[in-house]
């Protein structure tokens, strides 16, 4: 059997959205030795993003994809990163993430979370999707959990804390959810190879 | 009494189970656009919620998304 490091190096992970969740998942997986990352976002970095997203002050105004490609190369040059500066839709998701073994849903809006989970489960055969619902606010770390909903859907979060109820996003609590996501992704990759 | 299993918990409906997923979500006051629904492990697209009939004993997973990321 291949070693765990070799297994992770062979894996391809898609990251949909590069905000607080996506940028943190990307950094964790690059450090963790995932071989290929496919990252996608249409947005540019704003000052307010720096409270919880893995960018630097001199990257304000840059596209998140370009900045993250740069940062990941500095962290671990052996990771192959493919960046897509694009707005993800139900139609382009299967194409952009065609080679992904696992996809991380890292969007902000509830409707977009719904869209990509539905698209991956309905329009793709292979990848597992690890999605997040409920990470806003502070404290209450242990309310954030990871649950397998069905064969290809894993859900992270406390299920209820949204920014719609006026709660803020904080680096620690978003980071907890993002690392749950990254950890679930590593687990899926390693477990898949045991089958 | 007719029942459905919703997110692992058996729920009984005195007046009969809701006719469709759309009706069920309405009863639960959940906005359809923020939900991923599976019936017996099969994903049901949001646009088919109104036409997807529910049957006694089905196991339904409703994943409700709240914003933030």
ipTM associated with this complex: 0.91
pLDDT in tens, A100-115: 999 999 999 999 999 9
Confidence band for B1, pLDDT divided at 50, 70 and 90 = confident
pTM summary value: 0.96
pLDDT in tens, A124-179: 999 999 999 999 999 999 999 999 999 999 999 999 999 988 899 999 999 999 99
Q: What is the CATH number of domain B2-64?
A: 3.10.20.30
Dihedral angle of Cα A27, A33, A35, A38, to the nearest 10 degrees:
-10
Contact B63 A109 (CB under 8 A): no
- Neighbouring CB atoms inside 10 A of A58's CB total 8
Contact A110 B33 (CB under 8 A): yes
The share of chain A scoring above pLDDT 70, in percent, equals 99
Nearest-angstrom CA–CA distance, A139 and A41: 29
Contact A106 B69 (CB under 8 A): yes
Which chain B residues are within 8 Å of A17, Cβ to Cβ?
69
Residue of B nearest to A161 (CA): B66
Q: Which two tokens stand for residue A140?
A: 């209450």
Q: Which two tokens stand for residue A41?
A: 């976002």
Counted across chains A and B, CB pairs separated by less than 8 A come out at: 84
Question: Within 13 Å of residue A27, how many CA atoms lie on the same side as its CB?
Answer: 17
Question: Which of B41, B46, B68 is nearest residue A114 as measured by Cβ atoms?
Answer: B46
Contact A80, A8 (CB under 8 A): no
pLDDT for the residue numbered A1: 60
Q: Where are the alpha helices (DSSP H) in chain B?
A: 21-28
Mean pLDDT of chain A: 97
**Strands A128-132 and A102-105, how do they pair?**
parallel
Interval B3-30 mean pLDDT: 95
Domain spans of chain B? 2-64
Question: Which of B33, B36, B68 is nearest residue A136 as measured by Cβ atoms?
Answer: B68
Q: Which H or E run contains A30?
A: helix A20-31
Confidence band for A193, pLDDT divided at 50, 70 and 90 = confident
Contact B69 A164 (CB under 8 A): no
Quote the minimal CA–CA distance from A24 to chain B in Å.
Answer: 11
| Residue B54 burial (10 A CB sphere; 0-12, 13-18, 19+) | buried
Domains annotated on chain A, with CATH: 4-194 (3.40.50.720)
Residues of chain B whose beta carbon is less than 8 angstroms from a beta carbon of chain A are 33-36, 38, 41, 43, 45-46, 61, 63-69
pLDDT in tens, B38-47: 999 999 999 9
């Amino acid at each position: 059997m291949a070693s765990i490091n070799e297994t992770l190096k062979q894996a391809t992970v898609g990251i949909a959205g590069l905000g607080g969740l996506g940028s943190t998942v990307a950094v964790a997986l690059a450090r963790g030795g995932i071989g290929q990352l496919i990252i996608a976002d249409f947005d540019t970095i704003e000052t307010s993003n720096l409270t919880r997203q893995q960018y630097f002050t001199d990257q304000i105004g840059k596209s998140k994809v370009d900045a993250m490609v740069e940062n990941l190369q500095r962290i671990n040059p052996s990771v192959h990163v493919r960046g897509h500066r694009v707005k993800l839709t139900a139609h382009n998701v299967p194409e952009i993430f065609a080679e992904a073994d696992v996809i991380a849903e890292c969007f902000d809006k509830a409707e977009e979370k719904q869209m990509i989970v539905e698209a991956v489960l309905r329009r793709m055969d292979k990848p597992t999707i690890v999605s997040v619902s409920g990470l806003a606010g502070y404290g209450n770390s242990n309310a954030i959990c990871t649950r397998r909903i069905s064969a290809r859907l894993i859900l992270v979060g406390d299920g209820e804390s949204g920014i719609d109820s006026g709660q803020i996003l904080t680096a620690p609590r978003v980071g907890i959810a993002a690392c749950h996501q990254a950890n679930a992704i590593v687990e899926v990759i390693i477990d898949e190879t045991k089958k | 009494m007719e029942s459905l299993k919703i997110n692992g918990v058996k729920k009984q409906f005195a007046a009969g189970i809701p006719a469709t997923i759309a009706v069920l979500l309405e009863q639960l006051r959940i906005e359809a656009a923020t939900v991923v629904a599976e019936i017996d492990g099969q994903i049901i697209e949001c646009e088919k919620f109104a036409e997807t009939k529910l049957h006694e004993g089905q196991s339904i997973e409703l994943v409700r998304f709240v914003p933030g990321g």
